Amino acid sequence: MATRGEALSSEGDENIEQSQGHRGTHADRPKCTIVHLDLGIGGAEHLIVLAALAMQGRDSTSEGADSRGQQKAEENGSRADDGYDVEVITTRHDRNRCFPATVDGRLKVFEYGHFLPRSIFGKAVAFCSLLRMLWLVLVIFVTGRWRRNVIINDQVAAVNPLLSFFCEKLVFYAHFPDLLLVQRTPHSPGFFAALKKLYRVVMDGIEEATTGKCDLLLFNSRFTEQTFRRTFPSLRFPPHTVLYPPVDTAGADAFRRRFSRDACIASLKALPEFKNFDFSVPFVFSLNRYEKKKDLPLAIHAVAHARRHDAAGAPLNLVMAGGFCSQLPENGEVFADLLRLARMQSELDVLWPAAASEQGSSGASEITERTQVLFLKNISEETRQSLMALALCLVYTPFEEHFGMVPLEANALGCPVVASNSGGPRESILHGKTRKGVAAARSSLALHSEMRPGISVRTRRG
């Protein structure tokens, strides 16, 4: 068993050395392990990063290896020493596609089981997620992480009973019932159809039986809590509450102090994607993973509709950005479909990625007459903040989203929001201040640029 433990531990050695190089060991601090499948750059991952930093008592804007950050902690009464000793374990942590705090020493991140597949030929995603979580449970057992004060399990409930053996208190953060996220197909006869039905019955039964097997059950919104109650009527709820995902308002304020509008434009113009983009024209910003459930075509249709029916003919551009993983076929399919849809609209001109026939031309002569459209993948935090600070508004397209951190991040930077009048965003977006309702896309997207500053101020206050 010791040999297996050494093999498992070796996967996390690089992060161990980096993390310990920036901070000492505090044996007297309570220990917390956060278990998360894929530590990428999505909303769920941002939640994990901010929650871990908060539990450590660390400033989310200070570098772990920065002496100024350490001095600030000392001035605040050594808050870092009063917090938890937090570690995050995950099966995937791409250092080129992650939040800065996971690689700059502020957080201890350990990657185990990268070799395990996300799916089997695009199928059995839930089963593979369960296998990967079971691997992390094995890691906890083999590496001696037996006496944690707290373990926080994010999203996959099936391992709750096992994790409870290794901690004093187990917290499960529920995002949405997996049962409702599965794309169901009409009933069809045959052996494979029956096998798939049995598979879903088993997986759904495991989810219902294990969701409540924790000491504290957290939901990301009241909408999610109500959905769990409707979906699993027999579920016995342990102590539970709604914990809205946090937003780094201090970081947003610091960004606004450091970067003026001109500075934001200059930083974006340095990127090849924005070489021919006209920042003198108001633009709409869409930010979401390239997934079918995010209903991203709605943003394209809304902008095209606004241009088509605006009597004044006011120009309006569109920037679409999102998380993209080449290993996920769905991401590639959605991205290609969006490109195809945008190029079919007579009012739109896709600048990036440029079509093969346009690679050698600047395209600067006629694009100003039509809506310029950019499709971006895995943008940096600075690019994300710059776009939010500059955009006329953020278009948030998912229907019945569980919560949605992106609108709040936009709010913190003073960016008005247009969102689907459904799900979790109804609890965080104030109508009349952030312009909720994609159904009214025509009036919402036709905001005059001179209206934006006033709405921006009210958005930050809201």
3-state secondary structure of 33: strand
Angstrom distance (rounded) from CA 367 to CA 351: 8
pLDDT value at position 412?
92
Distance, C-alpha 224 to centroid of its chain: 17
CA angle 38, 40, 45 (to 5 degrees): 85
pLDDT value at position 432?
60
Do 420 and 303 share a domain, yes or no?
Answer: yes
Do 275 and 336 share a domain, yes or no?
Answer: yes
Of 222, 242, 262, at which residue does a domain stop?
Answer: 242
Report the CATH number that the domain containing residue 68 is assigned in CATH: 3.40.50
Of 190, 221, 242, at which residue does a domain stop?
Answer: 242
pLDDT value at position 17?
43
Do 276 and 370 share a domain, yes or no?
Answer: yes
Do 165 and 105 share a domain, yes or no?
Answer: yes
Angstrom distance (rounded) from CA 217 to CA 229: 13
87-116, pLDDT tens digit by residue?
A: 999 999 999 888 999 999 999 999 999 999
Model confidence band, residue 180 (pLDDT cutoffs 50, 70, 90): confident
Q: What percent of the chain has pLDDT over 70?
A: 77
Do 177 and 296 share a domain, yes or no?
Answer: no
Token pair in block for residue 84: 């938890």
Report the CATH number that the domain containing residue 339 is assigned in CATH: 3.40.50.2000
149 has a pLDDT exceeding 60: yes
Lowest-confidence segment of 142-146, 386-390, 393-397 by average pLDDT: 142-146
Angstrom distance (rounded) from CA 303 to CA 371: 8
Identify whether the C-beta of residue 22 lies closer than 8 Å to the C-beta of residue 65. Answer: yes
84 has a pLDDT exceeding 60: yes
For residue 308, the surrounding DSSP H or E stretch is: helix 297-309
pLDDT value at position 150?
97
Question: From the CB of residue 323, how many other CB atoms can be counted at a distance below 10 Å?
Answer: 20
Do 403 and 453 share a domain, yes or no?
Answer: yes
Angstrom distance (rounded) from CA 91 to CA 82: 29
Amino acid at 189: P
pLDDT value at position 433?
53
63 has a pLDDT exceeding 60: no
301-358, pLDDT tens digit by residue?
A: 999 988 888 767 788 999 999 999 888 889 999 999 999 999 999 889 999 997 654 5
pLDDT value at position 130?
95
Model confidence band, residue 67 (pLDDT cutoffs 50, 70, 90): very low
125 has a pLDDT exceeding 80: yes
pLDDT value at position 90?
98
Torsion of CA 390, 391, 393, 394, to 10 degrees: -110
From 42, 11, 15, select the one nearest 103 (Cα to Cα): 15
**Peptide bond preceding 353 in cis form (omega within 30 of 0):** yes
Model confidence band, residue 27 (pLDDT cutoffs 50, 70, 90): low
Do 34 and 180 share a domain, yes or no?
Answer: yes
CB under 8 A, 24+ apart: contacts of 4-8? 4/142, 5/142, 5/143, 5/144, 8/112, 8/138, 8/139, 8/142, 8/143
pLDDT value at position 248?
85
CA angle 352, 358, 362 (to 5 degrees): 80
pLDDT value at position 452?
47
Do 197 and 214 share a domain, yes or no?
Answer: yes
3-state secondary structure of 301: helix
CA angle 325, 123, 136 (to 5 degrees): 70
From 296, 297, 248, 245, select the one nearest 402 (Cα to Cα): 245
Lowest-confidence segment of 90-104, 230-244, 363-377 by average pLDDT: 363-377
Of 188, 222, 242, at which residue does a domain stop?
Answer: 242
Lowest-confidence segment of 229-238, 282-291, 423-432 by average pLDDT: 423-432
Do 296 and 190 share a domain, yes or no?
Answer: no
Residue 97 lies in domain: 2-242
Q: What percent of the chain has pLDDT over 90?
A: 54
Amino acid at 109: V
- The domain total for the chain is 2
Do 163 and 270 share a domain, yes or no?
Answer: no
Work out whether the CA dihedral 4, 25, 89, 148 comes out positive or negative.
positive
pTM: 0.78
Do 292 and 427 share a domain, yes or no?
Answer: yes
pLDDT value at position 21?
43
DSSP 8-state assignment for residue 326: T
Do 266 and 237 share a domain, yes or no?
Answer: no
170 has a pLDDT exceeding 50: yes
247 has a pLDDT exceeding 50: yes
From 386, 363, 366, 389, select the one nearest 376 (Cα to Cα): 386
